[in-house]
Amino acid sequence: MVKTETLFKKASKEEEQIVLSFLLKEFDTKVREIMNNKSIFIKQRGVKEVYIVNKELKDTIEFIRNNSLELTKNIFLAGYPIGIIHEKQFQLEITGGFYFNKYMEKRLIIKTKQFLYGKDIVLANVNEYTLPFKKGNWLAVYGRGKKDSGLFYGVGKALVDSNELSSAPPNTVIIKGYKHRPFDLGWYLRFEK
Amino acid sequence: MQLLKLEEQRGYQLNKILFFYFSIPSSNYLIVKNLLLRLFVYLFMLDEISYSDVYDLGNKLGYLPYMIQRFVELIGEKETIKLLKFNEKKLKTVIRLNNLKTQFSEIDFLLLQKKIIFKKIRDIPEAREIVFSPISIGATIEYLNGYYMVQGKNSMFPPLILDPKPHEMIGDFAAAPGGKTTHIAQLMKNKGKIISIERSKRRCTSLYSNIVRMGVQNTIVLNTDARAIVKSKIKFDKILLDAPCSGSGVIINDPSRKTSKKEEDLAIYSKLQTELLDAAIQTLKEGGTIVYCTCSLEPEENELVIDRVLKDNDLKLVDIPFSFERGVTKFANYSFSPELKKAVRLYPHKTNGEGFFIAKMVKESGKN
Ligand SMILES: C[S@@+](CC[C@H](N)C(=O)[O-])C[C@H]1O[C@@H](n2cnc3c(N)ncnc32)[C@H](O)[C@@H]1O
């Protein structure tokens, strides 16, 4: 893939629509609260990275742009990254999981740390889930080992409906582990190495 | 004169010990007498340290000779010996708890659950020194969740001295990997604005991952030379310049520094540091504050840089409310403004941490 790099800029109407429709689907009425005084920004570095930027930072970015386009090109990050736009779809990433986890009510509580190493979550490793979920819903993954009770592990897209689980075999994959695009917290360790 | 006074005091101490020694009957308190004798020998020996002893030790430990000569010039033979010995140790692991994620008490609880033993550190409520940990402290789920940052104790002082407030516009002029940017964000409760500038793209990546992991949302990272920020016309309330430096205060973490920098390199650093500080001053609001720091012990990178900018700008040094050693006003052929006593020097062996120089300045209003 050609690594195109663009300015850190406000999302176009179309890009904004893609992200907002994702947020509406996942968080429904809470979107108003989440997006209050916030804007969506895009930085393309090969993929289109999506950022949530508050009003004060947005004004500062504009101020910088008005005085030096050169410096605007040097913006590496502003606000908080939440995911990417890929083939006109928004894809949540682990950073987005951090950002939204207090709003994510569909939670999967797991027994092992395998997910942190990019491995799949199979039914046998699931302790419980907080609310019924449908295939394609985004779930927040939490640990409940002896030592990590209640700590956030990452996010993932459900591959099955929760009502299928009672009759499913233990090796049924519920969330796929991703080694390349970060969905789990272990990504930080892999990324920094 | 000062030296003579010290020698006089030591002679007085030695005499006092001898007096006690002989006034205790030999049949009794043999242990006490023995201890006094040892103390006497120790103090006497300390007096006997010569430049060649220090030089030999420096040589044995692999330092370039110019470094030893400069340390002796700066702190004397005895302190240099202590510094060199300290640099052979390993620093205690220290973490900074991040209350942008959750309360300190909750993090303490989670650490204790993992059987990690820690203690609090004076003057830094957010710091914990790890006394014992059965697991790697940089790979726990709490770490990945950004509940803490593994960070040198003394590197927490510059943000505390900067004292950023929510709603201010703060500049961090040499920011990666972001120990101080994320600390500043925490002190600002994730409000206001931070512009973090880092010239190296590779290092911007670790700055990015620390900012995101620690949950910082009030920051813009600029991947550029900090001298270019003048073009933005931004006016900062406060600026931290943790300048790139020769690193002679952190040999304990990087022993390669014993040989990696030549004496001539100091002038190159000094020039860059002065230029960065000049850029910082230009972009500071009137009445605004700058904290300048380095992890170097070399006066050319510290007092000399401050002395230069004080001459050319309407700046004044302000007192730093921690009890560290003060900046020097004389070194080799240099003499600096007496105001430099307001800056502080954190010597590794005296503070049990990384070496730092920190100066705090305010830009006077109505001028410049
Ligand atoms: C002492 S380190 C900063 C440590 C950082 N403040 C922290 O607490 O994590 C100095 C940094 O300055 C960067 N640097 C060097 N020259 C620079 C310049 N001209 N402009 C901006 N950054 C520069 C270096 O790449 C390095 O990351």
Whether B141 sits inside 8 A of A71 (CB atoms) is no
- For the segment B250-255, the average pLDDT, to the nearest whole number, is 98
If phi > 0 it is left, if psi is from -120 to 50 it is alpha, else beta; for residue A134 that is: beta
Band (A28; pLDDT cuts 50, 70, 90): confident
Å between A185 CA and nearest CA of chain B: 6
Q: B367 or A52: whose pLDDT is higher?
A: A52
Say how far apart CA B117 and CA B133 lie, in whole Å. 6
If you average pLDDT over every residue of chain B, what do you get?
92
CB B334 within 8 A of CB B265: no
At residue B336, the pLDDT reads 98
If you average pLDDT over every residue of chain A, what do you get?
88
Q: Which residue has the tokens 């779930």?
A: A139
Whether A60 sits inside 8 A of B215 (CB atoms) is no
- Per DSSP, the residues of B223-248 read -S-GGGGGGGT--EEEEEEE-----T
User: How do the domains of chain A map onto residue ranges?
Assistant: 7-92, 104-190
* Chain A residues with beta carbon closer than 8 angstroms to that of B213: 188
- For the segment B211-216, the average pLDDT, to the nearest whole number, is 96
Q: Which residue has the tokens 């950023």?
A: B164
At residue A46, the pLDDT reads 81
At residue A5, the pLDDT reads 79
B178 lines ligand 1 (CB under 6 A): yes
Task: Give the pLDDT confidence of B155-179 residue by residue, as tens digits.
Answer: 999 999 999 999 999 999 999 999 9
| pLDDT at residue A166 greater than cutoff 60 | yes
Query: How distant is the alpha carbon of residue B105 from its chain centre?
Result: 27
Instruction: Provide the β-strand partners of residue A177.
Output: none
Q: B81 or A86: whose pLDDT is higher?
A: B81
At residue B342, the pLDDT reads 98
| pLDDT at residue B46 greater than cutoff 60 | no
| pLDDT at residue B220 greater than cutoff 90 | yes
B197 lines ligand 1 (CB under 6 A): yes
Q: Where are the beta strands (DSSP E) in chain B?
A: 94-97, 117-121, 124-132, 148-150, 169-172, 193-197, 219-222, 236-242, 284-294, 315-318, 325-326, 330-331, 334-335, 344-346, 356-363
Give B89's contacts (C-beta < 8 A, 6+ positions apart): B252
Å between A77 CA and nearest CA of chain B: 5
Q: Is B141 in CB contact (< 8 Å) with chain A? A: yes
Give B216's contacts (C-beta < 8 A, 6+ positions apart): B100, B181, B182, B185, B186, B190, B194
Task: Give the pLDDT confidence of B8-45 residue by residue, as tens digits.
Answer: 555 566 667 667 666 766 656 777 767 776 776 666 55
Band (A193; pLDDT cuts 50, 70, 90): very low
| pLDDT at residue B314 greater than cutoff 90 | yes
| pLDDT at residue B4 greater than cutoff 50 | no
Å between A164 CA and nearest CA of chain B: 30
* Chain A residues with beta carbon closer than 8 angstroms to that of B146: 98
Polymer length of chain B: 368
Is residue B295 part of the annotated active site? The answer reads yes
Task: Give the pLDDT confidence of B58-91 residue by residue, as tens digits.
Answer: 999 999 999 999 999 999 999 999 999 999 999 9
Band (B3; pLDDT cuts 50, 70, 90): very low
CB B304 within 8 A of CB B327: no
Among A7, A70, A95, A188, the residue to mutate for chain B (most B Cβ within 10 A): A188
Task: Give the pLDDT confidence of B343-368 residue by residue, as tens digits.
Answer: 999 999 999 999 999 999 999 986 44
Q: Which residue has the tokens 């390993």?
A: B90
Share of chain B above pLDDT 70, in %: 89
Share of chain B above pLDDT 90, in %: 84
B174 lines ligand 1 (CB under 6 A): yes
Band (B2; pLDDT cuts 50, 70, 90): very low
At residue B259, the pLDDT reads 98
Among B102, B112, B167, B213, the residue to mutate for chain A (most A Cβ within 10 A): B213
Within 10 angstroms of residue B267's Cβ, the number of other Cβ atoms is: 12
* CATH fold of the domain at A104-190: 2.30.130
| pLDDT at residue B1 greater than cutoff 50 | no
